[in-house]
Structure 1
Amino acid sequence: MPLFNSQIDWRGMGTIVVVGLFTLLVLAFAVISYVDWSSNAAVAEFMNATESSASDPNHSNESAARIPSAKARANCPLGKKSPPTQLLPLP
C-alpha cells in the first residue's frame, strides 16, 4: 500500500463532514436550549423572591444585617485607627 493514495474517497469524506456538522448543530441547539431554560428559571426565581419580599408586612427599607461601625471592630488591630482623610500622591 503506497504512502499517498491518489484515489480519494469523496463519498466517505462527505459523510464524515455531514456527520460532523450535524453533531455541531445538535450541540449548539442543546447549549442554546439549556441557557434559555436556565435564564427563564433564574428570572422566575428572582420574580418570586421580589414578590414575596415586597408583600412581606415586616419588610422595611433597612437591611436586616447591619454593618458594624469602625469603632465596633475590636478584633482588628487596624480597626481602632481612624481611616485616612486624604490620599497622598504616589512618589
Structure 2
Amino acid sequence: MLFNTQSHWGGMGTTMVVALLTLLALVFAVVSYVEWSSNAAVAEFMSAIESSASDPNHSSDSPVRIQPHNERTGCPKGKRSLPTQLMPLP
C-alpha cells in the first residue's frame, strides 16, 4: 500500500511539471507573437509615414478647417456662449 501512495504522488508531480512546462511554452509563444506583430505594425507605420512625407502632393495643411468660436455650428448647444467660470460638481 505504501508503494502505491508514493507512485501516485510521483505521477502527480510529473503531471504538474509537464503542465507547468506546457504553460511556460504557451506564454513564451504568446509573448513572442505579440512582440513580432508589434514590430511588424511599427515597421508598417514607419513606412507609411516615410512614403507620405516623400509624396510631392502631400500638403502640410490640415484638411480639417478649424471653426472660430464666433461662428454658428450645426449643433444647437454650439450656439451657447462658453462658460466663463467653472463650477464644482455637487
Give the TM-score of the pair, scaled to structure 2. 0.74
The 5 A counterparts of 1:1-91 are: 7-8=5-6, 9-70=8-69, 71-74=71-74, 76-89=75-88
**Which whole-Å deviations, capped at 9, do the CAs of 1:11-39 have from their partners, x for residues lacking one?**
21122112111111111111111111111
Kindly report the root-mean-square deviation, in angstroms, between the aligned alpha carbons of the 2 structures: 2.3
CA distance in structure 1 between the aligned counterparts of 2:34 and 2:20, rounded to whole angstroms: 21
1:72: how far off?
4.2
Whose relative contact order is higher, 1 or 2, with alpha carbons under 8 Å and at least 6 apart?
1
**4+ long deviations beyond 6 Å:** none
Identity %: 65
Change beyond 3 A, Cα 1:86–1:65: same
> Do the aligned partners of residues 69 and 25 (structure 1) sit closer, same or farther apart at CA in structure 2, a change above 3 Å counting?
same
Counting matched residue pairs gives 85
The secondary structure found in structure 1 opposite 2:22 is helix
* 3-state SS, counterpart of residue 5 of structure 2: coil
TM-score (norm 1): 0.73
Unpaired runs of 5+ in structure 2? Answer: none
